[in-house]
Every structure is written in structure tokens, then in C-alpha cells.
Amino acid sequence: MKNVKAAMNKDRREFIKKVLRGSIAGSLFLVLPMGSEGTIQVPEQIPGIRGKKYDMEKQRFAFIVDITRCIGCGSCCVADKREYDVPDGHYRTWVERYIKDFDDNVYVDCPNGGLDGYQKPRTDIPGKIRDTFFVPKLCNMCERPSCVQVCPVGATFRTPDGFVLVDKDYCVGCAYCIQACPYSARFLNPKTKTADKCTWCYHRVRKGLLPVCVHVCPAKARKFGDLNDPESEVSQILASPDVITVLKPEMGNHPALYYKGLRREVV
């Protein structure tokens, strides 16, 4: 009997040892890199980028915001903040709410950059409301960018495919670009102490993915694509008879961010 018990105890010990070894070995699979082939492949969102050498000169990207579609949900702002870990109080993109009364008074607000969505109507408007709409804002990716012109060290630059980017390892943090941007799209990132702004998700675009705000927009108010591709949605919108305009054209910056259905009240 004793022998049987001893044999069982020995088996138990062996069993526990094997289980422990197995779980340690198994957990290693979670820690060790698996190689990119094993991960989920997100389907291509911008056609013609994956699977070939990227030619910067061949692309001309444009961004279109459709004012008539934006519902002010703030999903774009949330996605953007998560994508870039944007510090509180600073905004790479934001959504403004415009309210117009019958006396042509314009009331604009943008609490927390529209990050929480516009869930409740404004109650402080005395007159009868004629119209209300939302205006998403982001970097205008100007063809003649003031920020690039004034940067004293060339840390902010424009790529041949039309992206205005900041090299945070070279930026001195003088904030001259922040003063120069007519659209107030820039801020000084308190973590890096360098200039920061929307990049139209260049890292995603180079992988054939749409900017994250475009991707998450439930109303399809944000559109992005290559103007050199006549089949792209942006090419077709710009070729349509819709009212298309840019912000502050008098600044002479020639933005690549277009607005469909923009009202004259929007600055």
C-alpha cells in the first residue's frame, strides 16, 4: 500500500513538473516575436501602394472634408488622439460646431476640440436657429506652407508626395512655425518639446492605409486619396460640379485640404 502511495506521489510530482515546464515553454511563444507574416493583414485601403516600390513623385494626395456629411460625433478626434497619444489640451484635428440664427449671428464652439462629440444642443442661443453644421479641421498640407518657409533649421519640410512633416529629432522648438500657420494647426508638444501637428497619417498612407480619422468616420465626411489617380474618390469629387473650396485662400498657401459645401462663415 505504501509503495502504491509513494508511486502516486511521485507521479503527481512529475505531473506538476510537466505542467510547469509546459506553461513556461508555452508562455515563451507569447513573448517571442512571431514574424509579420503571422499577424493580421489589414486589407489595402488606398489602391496601388502595396507590393511595389513607393515613388514619391508619382503621388499627389488630397484630403476632402464634406461639411454636409459631418455629424459631429468626434470619432475622428478620438481615433487621432489614440493613434498619436496627443497630450491633453492640444489638437492635431478638431471639430467645430457652427450655429447660425436668423439675424446672421454666428455662434461657434469647440469644447475639448470636439473630442467628446456634440451630444447635446447648445441652450445659450437666444435667437431662432436657422442652420447648424460641423467643420472638422486638420493640417491643410499647403503647397506653399508658411511653416516650412519660416522654420529656421529646416526641421519642418514638405515631401514630394505633398505631406508637410516635422522632424522631431531636429526641431529646436522655437515655435515660429506655430505663429506662421494661418490655420492654427500646430502646437508645441509638451512631451517632446518640439512642434507637432497632423501628418495625414503618413505612416499609414505609406502602407496603403487611409488616415485613421478617415478610416473611422462613420458618416464618410472625411475622404482621402491620390489626385493622380483619376479613379480615386477625391479626384471624382474635385471633378464634380459640387462647391469645393479651401480655408483662407487669401493667405496664398494653396492647401491640399479641400472642403465640400463649406459656408462663408467658416474661417
Partner 1 sequence: MTEAAVHTGMAANIMNYVFPNDLHVHWSLMIVLYPYITGIIAGAFIVSSLYHVFKVQDLKPVSRYSLLFALAFLACATWPLLNHLGHPERNWEMLVTPNPSSAMAGFGYIYSLYAVLLIFEVLFIYRPTMVALKAQATGKMKTLYNILTFGSDDLSPRSLALDKKIIGFLAAIGIPMACILHGYVGFIFGAVKARPLWSSPLMPVIFLLSASVSGIAGVIFSYVLIQKFKGRPVDSKCVITLSKFLWGAFIICFTFEMLEVFQHSYLKTHHWDMIHGLLWGPLKTSYWKLQVGVCSLIPLFLLGILILFKVRDKAFVFFATIASALLLVQVLLMRWNVVIGGQLMSRSSRGFTTFHPEFFEKEGILPAILIMTAPLVILWLLGKIVPMWEDKGVLTSTEPTTGHK
What would the 3-class secondary structure string for 238-251 be?
Answer: HHCCCCEECCCHHH
Q: How far is the CB of 137 from partner 1 (least distance, A)?
A: 8
Distance in Å, CB of 133 to partner 1, minimum: 14
CB 137 within 8 A of CB 114: no
Our CB check for partner 1 shows the closer of 75 and 93 to be: 93
DSSP 64: E
Phi, psi of 229 (to 5 degrees): -100, 105
User: What does the alpha-carbon distance between residue 149 and residue 193 come to, in Å, rounded to a whole number?
Assistant: 20
Minimum Å distance from CB 49 to partner 1?
Answer: 30
The smaller minimum CB distance to partner 1, of residues 157 and 202, is found at: 157
DSSP 96: E
* CB-nearer residue toward partner 1: 198 or 210: 198
User: Whole-angstrom Cα distance, residue 238 to residue 229?
Assistant: 12
CA dihedral 118, 119, 123, 129 (to 10 degrees): 60
Nearer to partner 1, 15 or 102 (CB): 102
Between 96 and 226, name the residue whose CB sits nearer to partner 1. Answer: 96
Nearest distance in Å: CB 21, partner 1: 51
Binding residues (CB under 8 A) for partner 1: these are 89-91, 94, 96, 100, 103-110, 113, 126-127, 137, 146, 148-155, 170-176, 178-188, 192-194, 251, 264-265, 267
In angstroms, give the least distance from the CB of 72 to partner 1. 15
